[in-house]
Amino acid sequence: MNTQAYTSLALFIDGQWLSEQRKTESVVDPAFGTELGQLPHATDQDLENALSSAERAFKHWRNSSPILRSEILRRFATLIREQAPRIALDLSRDQGKPLAEAFGEVRFAAEHAEWHAEECRRLYGRIIPARDIRVRQSVMLEPVGVCAAFTPWNFPFSQALRKVCAALGAGCTIILKGPEDTPSAVMAIGRLLQEAGLPDGCLNLVWGNPAYISKTLISDPRVSKVSFTGSVPVGKQIAALAGSHMKRCTMELGGHAPVLVFADADIEAAADALAANKLRNAGQVCVSPSRFYVERAAQERFLERFVAKVAQARVGHGLQENVDMGPLCHARRVQAMEALVADARSLGAQIACGGERIGDAGNFFAPTVIHDAPQQIRLLHEEPFGPLAVVVPFDDFSQAIEMANALPYGLASYVFTASSARAQHASQALAAGMVSINHFGLALPETPFGGIKDSGYGSEGGSETFAGYLNTKFVTHFENPPH
């Protein structure tokens, strides 16, 4: 196993890396429970310095050429690719996902940086033909200002990078509070953007008590935009605080993604693909398939294949070879899995595989498939955010849609069918921000990513990503023609 030292941890404020004489907390390897490093917490003065430096930098960055912003983001993407092995190593250590998954997250995030570098050059306004020849009408797009962003621990590199690139590409400056459990990826973003030539103050990184930092930043009049990715309950608190100050928001919250598998689909191929996707990042993915609704005629065949694939997954430390799934990121996630399984079992559901933690060291939990479950089990109503799947039969199209749409979540949904008509009808009927049919085609740089209902609002990715970081200004100019 690689013994390379874990990255040193610090705050990043106005171009300076700061760590001395501050309260710290331990960053822990979720597989071994051993300490990786000490993360410094921002003081009140640190937060004030971050706000003032972001405000000061915005005065210049807002007027920078889109070509300059593009060049910096492009250099950033190049540096990510060059240093991906080191970034992925630390990411696997503090988050727990297999090294191959961590490397894939980092490399794919470089595409997002590159896409933002290209798209930010095309943030055009427009001319509107006037009704009077003496009037000129134009629409201008202007950066909204200083942004506060809060990012999660499940994809600490890619989630933070998308917010940072959108803000910087639009001409905003940003203060980012990343996840204290998995800080190495956010540290890498700050280090590489500094190396790419980003001016001081355009990006600031702070760590500490999440509730206190979010309240401090969002309440400050210098912050104009809030972007949050995380759970629904916390997201609602953030949105309420931002709303009380009339701050614009992007909210990418939780999901409980339904899967509709119709009998005419390639059942074996669907089961194989869904098993692999379910176990990605140990199921700690907001778009992870979690409620599997299978047409009754195909249920037995699907369940047999799906359970076989899930049960054979190799679980271990993310840096071990040939590991399919690592540990959960936190001990509390293991406790959540145990509680959901216990609830299902107490109500008569069948556990086809898994259902318990693995060993007594680290946060390992066996990949689990539940079936023959009554509708009232918690797993059918609460996002598991872990390696749990529940398989439920349906008899007709309308029943499948009704069950899929029954929850307040509306992020991702999946459909497997050989019928183009059925696929089209399902894509229209499903109440979700994203529908993926016969494959997993979400979160590409050029496509919008976001949900509806309790899953949030606003999009990241695609040309839509910049909408939340830009003000629209209409200018109408009356001018008498020369005589």
- Shared domain for 388 and 417, answered yes or no, is yes
- Shared domain for 193 and 77, answered yes or no, is yes
Res 4: pLDDT: 87
Q: Show the tokens assigned to 254.
A: 């939780």
Region 96-119: mean pLDDT is 98
- Pairing state between β 257-261 and 412-416: parallel
Residue 334 lies in a domain: yes
- Shared domain for 195 and 247, answered yes or no, is yes
% of the chain residues with pLDDT over 90: 98
Query: At residue 289, does pLDDT exceed 80?
Result: yes
pLDDT-based confidence at residue 481 (cuts at 50, 70, 90): confident
Query: At residue 360, does pLDDT exceed 60?
Result: yes
- Shared domain for 334 and 276, answered yes or no, is yes
Residue 4 lies in a domain: no
Q: Which of 120, 179, 176 is nearest to 155 (CA)?
A: 179
Query: At residue 274, does pLDDT exceed 70?
Result: yes
Helix, strand, coil percent content, the chain, rounded in steps of 5:
40, 20, 35
The structure's pTM equals 0.96
Region 129-150: mean pLDDT is 97
Residue 196 lies in a domain: yes
Residue 321 lies in a domain: yes
Residue 6 lies in a domain: no
User: What total of structural domains would you count in the chain?
Assistant: 2
Res 277: pLDDT: 98
Region 202-228: mean pLDDT is 98
Alpha-carbon distance of 438 to 269, in angstroms, equals: 9
Q: pLDDT for 51-98, tens place per residue? A: 999 999 999 999 999 999 999 999 999 999 999 999 999 999 999 999
Q: pLDDT for 236-259, tens place per residue? A: 999 999 999 999 999 999 999 999
Alpha-carbon distance of 468 to 226, in angstroms, equals: 9
Q: pLDDT for 329-346, tens place per residue? A: 999 999 999 999 999 999
- Shared domain for 241 and 270, answered yes or no, is no
Q: Could you tell me the CATH number of the domain that includes residue 74?
A: 3.40.605.10
Q: Could you tell me the CATH number of the domain that includes residue 432?
A: 3.40.309.10
Query: At residue 390, does pLDDT exceed 70?
Result: yes
Q: Show the tokens assigned to 104.
A: 């894939």
pLDDT-based confidence at residue 480 (cuts at 50, 70, 90): confident
Res 441: pLDDT: 95
Q: Which of 143, 180, 191, 147 is nearest to 50 (CA)?
A: 147
Region 16-27: mean pLDDT is 97
For residue 163, the one-letter residue type is: K
- Shared domain for 48 and 134, answered yes or no, is yes
- Shared domain for 306 and 246, answered yes or no, is no
Q: Show the tokens assigned to 427.
A: 């894509």
- Shared domain for 394 and 462, answered yes or no, is no
Q: Is 286 a catalytic residue?
A: yes
Res 1: pLDDT: 57
Region 32-50: mean pLDDT is 97
> Counting Cβ atoms within 10 Å, is residue 2 exposed (0-12), middle (13-18) or buried (19+)?
exposed
The contacts found for 349-355 with CB under 8 angstroms, 24 or more apart, are 349/373, 349/374, 349/377, 349/390, 352/303, 352/307, 352/311, 353/307, 353/310, 353/311, 354/310, 354/311, 354/387
- Shared domain for 174 and 268, answered yes or no, is no
Contact between 162 and 448 under an 8 Å Cβ cutoff? The reply is: no
- Shared domain for 328 and 234, answered yes or no, is no
Alpha-carbon distance of 39 to 206, in angstroms, equals: 10
- Pairing state between β 388-394 and 368-371: parallel
Residue 480 lies in a domain: no
252, 295, 383, 460: the catalytic one is: 252
- Shared domain for 416 and 403, answered yes or no, is yes
The full length of the chain comes to 483
Query: At residue 2, does pLDDT exceed 70?
Result: no
- Shared domain for 180 and 300, answered yes or no, is no
Average pLDDT of the residues of the chain: 97
Region 286-313: mean pLDDT is 98
Res 64: pLDDT: 98
**By residue range, what is the domain housing residue 155?**
11-253+455-473
Residue 479 lies in a domain: no
Residue 205 lies in a domain: yes
286, 329, 383, 460: the catalytic one is: 286
